[in-house]
Amino acid sequence: MARILITGAGGYIGTTLVEMALAKGYDVIALDRFFFGEDLLEEFAANPQFSTIKKDIRDIRADDLTGVDVVVDLAALSNDPSGELDPDLTTSINHRGRVHVADISREAGISRYILASSCSVYGFGETSELTEESPTNPLTEYARSTFDAERAVIAMGDKTFCVSALRNATVYGLSKRMRFDLVVNTMTRNAIDSGEITVAGGGHQWRPLVHVRDVARAILNIAAQPAEKVNQQVFNIGSENQQIRCLA
Ligand SMILES: NC(=O)c1ccc[n+]([C@@H]2O[C@H](COP(=O)([O-])OP(=O)(O)OC[C@H]3O[C@@H](n4cnc5c(N)ncnc54)[C@H](O)[C@@H]3O)[C@@H](O)[C@H]2O)c1
């Protein structure tokens, strides 16, 4: 079975993807700085198909990728507020760090590289429907660095190096590492903790949404496609668009 290396494997999407990739029979290498703790993946420690590398993506070297068939690049400072805290750091991880991972992957002869991009590259949508051809308008440090990384890695794709980027909608659902800064999860927690959901500004804004397990499924699906179908392509990954007021 193929071997998959997942950066950001200790995160919200990553911990779910690790579990689902192992269940599909992949050998999984989980690479992360583990900001949120290594114990989240502890239950897989005894699995011979699972290993971890504790490392910053900016320090990845070709020998970390020995025997790897697919690299899934999830590691990032993953939301707008943390992206604004230190714009240089955000660029260094979310843009240059990911380009470095793609560069090293290509150098190491890996045939597949999949980037977790974001629907935030479209800006704040005024309409409910956006396609991959819709104009982009990244408005925050997080969105700009994501978009810069996406453009750079897509351009690296060629006959031997298949590159795809998934523009994920706002994710929701349970994971080993929970994120309660994401709208559905925030509302759910508030409803349980205080019995109230607060909607600011009328709640007319649209949000594309997707369940965390569907994101993992999409990644594994794209990894299994023939290269010529997915190379140098971006894919919107979302299951529905909702106005915040309807969501509440
Ligand atoms: N969750 C969402 O709603 C959503 C939506 C769109 C796109 N995305 C993208 O999906 C990816 C994963 O998001 P998530 O929700 O799982 O975020 P997360 O914050 O839960 O996980 C990110 C992981 O990356 C690791 N990391 C951060 N910087 C690192 C570095 N320099 N080196 C090594 N590891 C590092 C962290 O330790 C963490 O485990 C991100 O690229 C994010 O931008 C997420």
pLDDT in tens, 7-55: 999 999 999 999 999 999 999 999 999 999 999 999 999 999 999 999 9
The DSSP call for residue 122 is G
Atom of ligand 1 nearest to the CA of 177: 20
Q: The dihedral of CA 189, 192, 194, 196: what is its sign?
A: positive
- Choose the CATH number for 3-169+210-239 among 3.50.30.40, 3.40.50.1580, 3.40.50.720, 3.40.50.300: 3.40.50.720
Predicted confidence at residue 129, as pLDDT, reads 78
Q: Are 131 and 105 in contact (CB under 8 A)?
A: no
Q: What is the pLDDT of residue 128?
A: 62
144-163 pLDDT tens trace: 999 999 999 999 999 999 99
Higher pLDDT, 128 or 56: 56
SS (H, E, C) 155-223: HHCCCCCEEEEEEECEEECCCCCCCCCCHHHHHHHHHHHHCCCCCCHHHCCEEEEEEHHHHHHHHHHHH
As a whole number, mean pLDDT of residues 166-182 equals: 97
DSSP state of 88: H
Domain borders along the chain are 3-169+210-239
Q: How many alpha carbons fall within 13 Å on the CB side of residue 228?
A: 0
Ligand 1 centroid – CA 36 distance (Å)? 11
Q: For residue 115, what pLDDT is reported?
A: 98
- Total residue length of the chain: 248
Element (H, E) at 116: strand 112-118
Please tell me the predicted confidence (pLDDT) of residue 201.
85
For residues 75 and 97, the answer to whether their CB atoms sit within 8 Å is yes
What pLDDT is stored for residue 189 in this prediction? 97
Strands 206-211 and 240-243: antiparallel
Mutation to probe ligand 1, out of 5, 7, 13, 52 (largest number of atoms < 8 A from CB): 13
pLDDT in tens, 64-119: 999 999 999 999 999 888 888 899 999 999 999 999 999 999 999 999 999 999 99
CB 80, CB 88: distance < 8 Å: no
Q: Can you give the pTM of this predicted structure? A: 0.97
Residues with CB under 6 A from ligand 1: 8, 10-14, 32-36, 56-58, 74-78, 93, 97, 116, 118, 168, 170-171, 177, 179, 182
Residue from 6, 7, 12, 234 whose mutation best tests the ligand 1 pocket (most atoms within 8 A of CB)? 12
